[in-house]
Chains A and B, each alone.
Chain A
Amino acid sequence: MISQVFILSSKGDHLIYKDFRGEARSDAVSVFYEKVTALTGDQPPVVMTHQDLHFVHVRQGGLYWVATAAADSSPFTLIEFLNRLTALIKDYCGSLSEKSVRMNFALIYELLDEAVDYGYIQTTSSDVLKNFIQTEAVSSRPFSLFDLSNVGLFGAETQQSKVAPSSAAARPILSGREQGGKSEIFVDVIERMSVVIGSNGVLMKADIEGEIRVKCYMSSCSEMRIGLNEEFSIGKSQLRGYGAAVRVDECSFHQAVRLDEFDNHRILRLCPSQGEQTVMQYQLSDDLPSAPPFRLFPTIERDFGGRLLMYLKLRCDLPPKSAAINVSVTIPVPKGSLSMSQELSSPDQSAELKPQSKAVVWQIARFPGGTQLSALFKLEVPGLSSASMLEVGPVGLSFELPKFTASGLQIRFLRLSPVQPGPAQRWVRYVTHSDSYCIRV
């Protein structure tokens, strides 16, 4: 049971405030903001209590999404609801930001009104809600296919010739009505890697969390069939096919997915509802099908002038036709580091010393598979002792691997039935993010 829901900007401005039960005090919003800004670092912020008010909040899109509830309510339900609310608003408004929430406040009130009654969640399915929602979304920037300034982040496997802009899926689902029903469907395979590599180069931990997300802009689509790799197997014992098996440890599906063809042909059948939904989630732990994408060969020493020398070789072990983008390598350095000189192997990289976080951040815009980059950092550290060397590392990497899945999962085909009358466009996109990629030195 939810007593109030409100959305605050990061500066504490009230964006949305909805009191469902008329029981709580009206100063809850300011109480919340005071508490959340007064938190010290070691206090968990998710649940906060003020007298008999209990705040549960999530942070997304730089905003605070807060619900107040009684002490015995389920945290899982509240957090899931708030996450679902952000997803709904993203669906309806196109993107999630302070600006889009400000512009679409009427729509959001309407959504909240239909989704929750008297503090009880009625429905959060965009299929059901679309029948009730009347307000049109206001896009902050109207979507146009001609706006191709940042093409090329994702490719489409099904239609090699065409490339959808990365912002293609960031638009309101209902605007299709007036834009002449451009029916499109996006199927995204998104994986998050968390990897720890020991100082001796041994893979110590490797987890992959993946999901298949369908984002549908089609008003009428009775059934969709998604074919996965034939060799896809679940669990350690099961093996299928003769080729390299694609294996996951655990796998769960959206309740609307029908699995009658899954056992034999690895086909998921579902009727996608408008908006975004996660069709399948899977995890794979402690066993990567291929080598981890990055290896680091560091040499760290002191020179005679009391400077710290870090010579880093970073190798990308992806297949040669893939590449990593937006690679950012964070190397913690001793606290007293004053300045840094650098030698990088190519001009499209950059590196700087961040004094606040005592780290060197090395940015690589694009890093093709099978290549190796090197960098030499010389740090001026007054009073450098041998113990200070302990402060160097572990190195953290964050990156994005477009057109690549670490587990090897691929989508063989994507069929819609009945066959769409208009020119339906189907996009399949793959991307792997780094959740946490640590290399010890």
Chain B
Amino acid sequence: MPYLGSEDTVRELRRALSNPNVQSDHLRYRNTILKVIRAMSQGVDVSGLFSEMVKACATVDVVQKKLVYVFLCSYASLNPELSLLVINTLRKDCQDPNPMVRSLALRNMTNLRLPSLVEYVEQPLTAGLRDRAACVRRVAVLGWAKLHNLQPNSDIDAAVVNELYSLLRDPDPVVMVNCLRALEEILKEEGGVAINKPIAHHLLNRLKECDVWGQCEALKVLQRYRPQSEDELFDILSLLDPSLLSPHPPVMAATVSLFLSLCSGLPAVSLSALERVRGPLLAACGSASREMRFAALCHIQLLLRSLPGLMGAHYKRFFCGYAEPAYIKQRKMQVLVELVNDDNVALVLDELKGYCTDVNTDTAQAAISAIGRIGRSYSDRCLEILTGLLGLKQEHITSAVVQTVRDLVWVCPQCSDAVCLALEGCEETLQDSQGRQALLWLLGVYGERVSSAPYVLEVFIDGVRSEVSLGVKTELLTATMRLFLCRPAETQDMLGRLLHYCIEEETDMCVRDQALLYYRLLHCGIEETRKVLQGRRSDPSLGVLIGRPAEPVSQWARSFNTLEPLRQDAAETDSASGGSAEPVTSDPKPNTDLSDTLNPSQVEMVHTGSEGASLCPESSADFLASAAGVPLSLSLSPALSPEEFERLWLRRQGLHAERGGEEKEEEEDCVCVEERVHCPAPPRCSPQSLQAALQLVNIQALAFTPPHTLPWRVYLYTHTTHTHSHANAPRTTLILGELLYTGEAKESKGRVKKEADDGEDAGEGAMEGKEEEKEGEEVTDDRLSERETEGGEREEEEVKVTLKQQPRDEEALKAFLSILATVLQTLSSERA
């Protein structure tokens, strides 16, 4: 039947439905209706049968009624006129002595979703609220919510709202919970149902009568309640304690959310609540349903951000079952990496080693990169495992190992000897572009220590014509240039061939431009080239700071028990959690590499989540509290890429340049502000400590100049979220900022001009974006120096802050500025 054309089906069904013989035999009639519904759920358009189905509605057979209602509710909106015919039957059913029939009629009356029928529905709904059967009251209460959403503009009678409030005392718990739900929807504009002290305590006392779903709903609504005194708060908490340990994960999670919102001012209490919830969460991790396991794992990751030691003793619970799906295995490995300590490292590595040869390549790669993460603290053991894996000569494993090793070397330069030894011969098994890029980077940077490096590169250069990946080509250029600097005799010939090919034959602009750049660079002499190309080969500061400071619970409390933790994919979780896996180590990409080597004294790219040293451990909470009385929270997610930052920032610069040096501008719902903060020290302190201090309050520094250079600048961004006192929807904005310190005002103008010129010389042939940035900076600088000459003498002690906010939100901006000022001043005072 599903394969018949839908027209034939509908015609046949109509004939059957209007056949008097069928109509008189209620079993045959019901079966025909069943066929209609079946066709409907298979996606056949059976709306043409509407009038026949309306007739079928008038019956005493409850099963048939239900079936017809399923049909009518799906198609009523297509046939508003005909639906009017049903209303009579429905209203008659509302008088039926059988409560089941009454509730059925009432529910479907409100499910028709036709604004034209509202006037007929109101009266039975009002009667339904006072029905003696609980099942009718349940339906009637929700019916009002449906009615309200059907005509969002019409005011629901205040009498109805009052009646709903009084029904909160209904003996049936489902009616009570439905009242909450209905009032939430009806009073959405006013911020939902008003939870005062009597209502809150009434709900708390009746929590036990509700089933799991009702409890979750009530707990969620209670999050808006603020106890008036500390005694009351602790009474509530002790009342809620049993549900914290509930065997039902939904109730447990809802209770945790409520705890976190009630105790937002008492971090110690919320931390101890989280400790208590460890058992139930671990139980959920072992649940029979894999989806439930996954949800619990994601939430454990959240908890670990604030309580890194929470699961330490239970690390074995995160060993992967061999039949578990890959996505659970990967989450478990992410958790395992966090739990490693001196006692369990051997066991954990042993376990992870077993996953490296998993049939599923994603799992294998995740295991290898997990070992790499652990390698930052236990490099010897991990390198031994990783080099052992290279012996397998399997494509995906070798590729993952080489990438992991590259990332590891970037953080732990002391591993480089072992890595250089292991690199021999693995180019034969590498197939994918990511792995080959990693290998090329390693060969370029450590070329003098890998004896076979020139031969490997030669193979790559011979095959460059058939190379498809742009990344590999640009990486190959850089690597060959670097190798040329340390082993010129062996490399000169092949470098010539490579440059010739890239400049003369390559069709891609990026590769060609890069080759041209290198070609001209070589003309400038070997010393210049060396200065540009030999950038940093590692960033040990990232590796030392293993124990990152625990985040305050408020960072993630809002997203607990929502879909958000489950939605983030692995990379996002890493950067959001401040861990430093992939994003940091993707640094050695040709583009960023180029830009930082181009102009070494100017802009140093240090993008994304490196850990912060705990400079002022207690500070973040204080800042947040002191922020001009506005509850404001900052966050780093979603992460902003340097390219994106540049785009947004330049748009601002364009605007600014047109209008001249006004103090404040408004355009397209975004706002720019310039402020001066008095704090001499930051330009002199180390990038790491500044980065750490900013990160502590969730501000991300995207790029900054090395200390003691003038002019000194930092580019940073953050997301603000804050709740206005009147509206309950939290507003989020994005703030981009620049800190600028020019030192002596008089000198700055000349210097700036000169540097900008230099920049343009060097940047010739480089990517256009970079040039634009230079120009943008020049504009700022010019304007600034003008202002400074007229400004006065006090500038030298001040850092100029330029902020851009989108969309505008003055309160949040002010609060952010005060946070930023506090951070900078704290830094200064610590230096002093």
Contact = CB atoms under 8 A, between A and B. Distances in A.
A358 interface: yes
Contacts of A118: 142, 145-146
Nearest to A281: B247
B211 A120 contact: no
Interface in A387-417: 387-388, 390-391, 393-394, 396, 398
A219 interface: no
A49 B569 CA distance: 12
B350 interface: yes
Interface string B364-396: 011000000000000000000000110111100
B510 interface: no
Contact of B322 (A19, A58, A438): A438
Nearest to B65: A134
Nearest to A47: B566
Given A44-B566, A81-B213, A196-B351, A117 B107 contact: yes
B317 A285 contact: yes
Contacts of B323: 396, 398, 435-436
Given A46-B566, A285-B316, A110 B66 contact: yes
A393 B322 CA distance: 11
B561 interface: yes
A72 B295 CA distance: 14
Interface stretch (B263-271, B353-361, B485-493, B544-552): B353-361
Contacts of A105: 37-38, 41
Interface in A221-276: 250, 252-254
B63 A390 contact: no
In this complex, the member of B34, B291, B562, B567 whose beta carbon has the largest number of chain A beta carbons within 10 angstroms is: B291
Interface residues of B, number: 91
Contacts of B174: 122-123
Contacts of A99: none
B750 interface: no
A335 B212 CA distance: 49
B366 A440 contact: no
Contact of A120 (B181, B284, B319): B181
Find the residue from B107, B320, B388, B562 having the highest chain A CB count within 10 A: B562
A194 B321 contact: yes
B279 A76 contact: no
Interface string A208-219: 010000000000
Contacts of B562: 71-75
A74 B366 CA distance: 28
Interface in A32-86: 40-47, 49, 54, 56-59, 69, 71-77, 79-83
Interface in B308-358: 316-317, 319-324, 326-327, 330-331, 347, 350-351, 354, 357
Contacts of A13: 42
Nearest to A205: B316
B291 A58 contact: yes
Contacts of A124: 211, 213
A135 interface: yes
B286 interface: yes
A387 B247 contact: no
A47 B327 contact: no
Interface stretch (B249-257, B412-420, B734-742): B249-257
A58 B363 CA distance: 21
B563 A71 contact: yes
Contact of A80 (B34, B77, B292, B316): B292
A117 B142 contact: yes
B563 A73 contact: yes
A79 B289 contact: yes
Contacts of A79: 289, 291-292, 295
Contacts of B245: 252
A294 B651 CA distance: 67
A437 B62 CA distance: 51
Given A71-B562, A438-B322, A332 B279 contact: no
Contacts of A15: 41
Per DSSP, are chain A's interface residues mostly helix, strand or loop, or mixed? mixed
Nearest to B254: A74
B564 interface: yes
B366 A42 contact: yes
A207 B287 CA distance: 12
A13 B42 CA distance: 8
A97 interface: no
A81 B320 CA distance: 26
Nearest to B351: A196
A283 interface: yes
B178 interface: yes
A64 to B, nearest CB: 11
Given A13-B42, A47-B566, A253-B247, A76 B321 contact: no
A250 B42 CA distance: 46
A67 to B, nearest CB: 11
A17 B546 CA distance: 50
A357 B360 CA distance: 9
Given A76-B253, A332-B359, A387-B393, A435 B295 contact: no
Interface in B650-666: none
A42 B362 contact: yes
A75 B249 CA distance: 10
Contact of B213 (A19, A82, A121, A394): A121
A84 to B, nearest CB: 9
A196 B295 contact: no
A120 B179 CA distance: 11
A144 to B, nearest CB: 25
B321 A435 contact: yes
Given A47-B567, A80-B250, A120-B181, A390 B388 contact: yes
B67 interface: yes
Given A42-B570, A58-B291, A436-B323, A76 B250 contact: yes
Contacts of A47: 563, 566-567
Interface string A116-144: 01101111110000011011000000000
A42 B291 contact: no
B291 A77 contact: no
B139 interface: yes
B90 to A, nearest CB: 15
B286 A42 contact: no
B156 interface: no
A14 interface: yes
Contacts of B321: 194, 435-436, 438
Contact of A391 (B77, B254, B361, B392): B392
A359 B359 contact: yes
Given A74-B250, A253-B247, A357-B359, A196 B566 contact: no
B294 interface: yes
Interface string B124-149: 00000000000100110010011000
A357 to B, nearest CB: 5
7 contacts: A44-B569, A59-B291, A76-B292, A80-B212, A80-B248, A110-B66, A122-B178
The 3 closest A-B CB pairs, nearest first, are A436-B321, A387-B391, A252-B247
Interface of A: 13-17, 19, 22, 40-47, 49, 54, 56-59, 69, 71-77, 79-83, 105-106, 109-110, 113, 117-118, 120-125, 131-132, 134-135, 192, 194, 196, 198, 204-205, 207, 209, 250, 252-254, 281, 283, 285-286, 330, 332, 335, 357-359, 385-388, 390-391, 393-394, 396, 398, 435-438, 440
